[in-house]
Amino acid sequence: MNRQRMDITIVGGGMVGMAQAALLAVRHPQLRISLLEASEIEPQVKPDAYDARVVALTEASRDLLEEVGAWQLIAGKRECPYTQMRVWDAEGTGSVWFDCRDVQMPNLGHIVENNVVLAALRERIEALPNVDLVTGFKLESWWRDCGLWHLQARDQNHDAIDGLNEAPPVLTTRLLIGADGARSRVRDMLRIRTRDVEYKQTALVCVARCEQSHQFTAWQRFLSTGPLAFLPLSGLGDDNHCAVVWSADDELARELVMLDDKAFALNLEKAFESRLGTVEFVSERFSFALRARHAEAYYGPGAALIGDAAHSIHPLAGQGVNLGFMDVRVLTEEVDRALKRDLNPSHASVLARYQRRRKGENAATLKAMSTFKSLFGAGDLHWRWLRNTGLSMVDASPLLKKRIIMRAMSV
């Protein structure tokens, strides 16, 4: 049986998985790292159209991408720095206006298309000599003995690898990292349970071209049926395009999905109070159910969970991938510490420290997002007064706004 021995194996080649592989490889060229990704589709950046799915990268996330050499492939091309953020309540007068000048920074963050980040990370991964990227393969079986994980994979068509009529090869690794998303197979393999909260909302995402400039501002309106965000895009010759994330109660979402583009654009414009004038065009729409999910543990014997495999949250603050990138940085720091002490990076103490540093932080963020969702979804007069008063108080306090901005930028 063909065997490969690796130091670290990461399952899941999304943004978080690739960032984890790249950061470990850059910091530790002596490590042999494998990255397993089930899909064979390479990320493609369309030269004449935006990807509807975007991420709002914090400064901390940008720093991570810069360290691994990916930000250099993104900057000045298809990333849009936003300098302001405007938030307001649909059922009242409360609003808050954040500005990068409040914290003497050039921007509050960057809106970047998913495919742009994925393509940049993929390019870096393929250039790193100590990372083996294996695409088109999924885990078929696994077992653990002598302190090592043994992973067996087949291609998606269940044919023998390389056309050989033999059992698929076995990959042996000291540390296994699950970065395989909300439905993580690695998490299931470790028999780690999750605590789930069904929001009973659906997120609709698309690109909208507006009559007026987005003003390099991230806009968010809280409706009783869910938050609506317009996020600025740039790189294709104008500043009139926005990525739209409309989180709506399931019943409303079903109605919106059935509309043709013209009717959807009219509803979108009305829900946004025409803040950027007429919505002139909407791209193909995508939708996905919203739920919060948090793993009861972030590690098992010789294995750790990162990103959505460990936690997934409501997209209203755009923090999902940023939390995943923080997992990447912290887990890498713990591996750094272990290697300096000649300790196996899969040692239980290493993984326990990672969990202590990240689980509480992520749990607090999940709780905050659920609270925001409940607060802004409440329609009675008391809660409407409370949230509008709160927004107005934040807007009137430069010190409080500064603290909120600095906290958000550090995620």
User: Which pLDDT does position 397 carry in this prediction?
Assistant: 65
Contact 107, 408 (CB under 8 A): no
Backbone φ and ψ of 236, nearest 5°: -120, 30
Contact 243, 207 (CB under 8 A): yes
Angle between helices 398-409 and 381-395 (to 10 degrees): 90
**Segment 388-400, tens digit of pLDDT:** 566 656 656 667 6
User: Which pLDDT does position 137 carry in this prediction?
Assistant: 78
Q: How far apart are CA 15 and CA 391, in angstroms?
A: 33
- β-pairing, 95-99 vs 84-89, is antiparallel
Q: Which amino acid is at 74?
A: I
Task: List, as own/partner pairs, every contact residues 362-366 make where C-beta atoms lie below 8 angstroms and the sequence separation is at least 24, other chains included.
Answer: 362/294, 362/310, 362/311, 362/323, 362/327, 363/294, 363/311, 365/313, 365/319, 365/323, 365/411, 366/292, 366/294, 366/311, 366/313
User: Which pLDDT does position 76 carry in this prediction?
Assistant: 84
Q: How far apart are CA 392 and CA 381, in angstroms?
A: 16
User: Which pLDDT does position 1 carry in this prediction?
Assistant: 39
User: Which pLDDT does position 375 carry in this prediction?
Assistant: 56
User: Which pLDDT does position 159 carry in this prediction?
Assistant: 46
DSSP code, position 161: G
Beta-carbon contacts of 353 under 8 Å, excluding residues fewer than 6 positions away, are: 334, 337
**Segment 112-157, tens digit of pLDDT:** 999 999 999 999 999 999 999 999 877 888 999 989 999 987 655 5
Contact 377, 370 (CB under 8 A): no
Q: Which residues pair with 336 in a beta bridge?
A: none
Contact 22, 128 (CB under 8 A): yes
The candidate with the shortest Cα–Cα distance to 97, out of 268, 217, 272, is 217
**Segment 96-109, tens digit of pLDDT:** 888 898 888 899 99
User: Which pLDDT does position 411 carry in this prediction?
Assistant: 54
Of all residues in the chain, the percent with pLDDT exceeding 90 is 68
**What token pair was written down for 152?**
């067996």
What's the pTM?
0.91
**What token pair was written down for 363?**
């749990």
User: Which pLDDT does position 162 carry in this prediction?
Assistant: 43
**What token pair was written down for 105?**
């920074």
Q: How far apart are CA 166 and CA 159, in angstroms?
A: 10
DSSP code, position 113: E
Low-confidence ranges of the chain (pLDDT < 70): 1-3, 92-93, 154-168, 316-318, 370-398, 400-402, 404-411
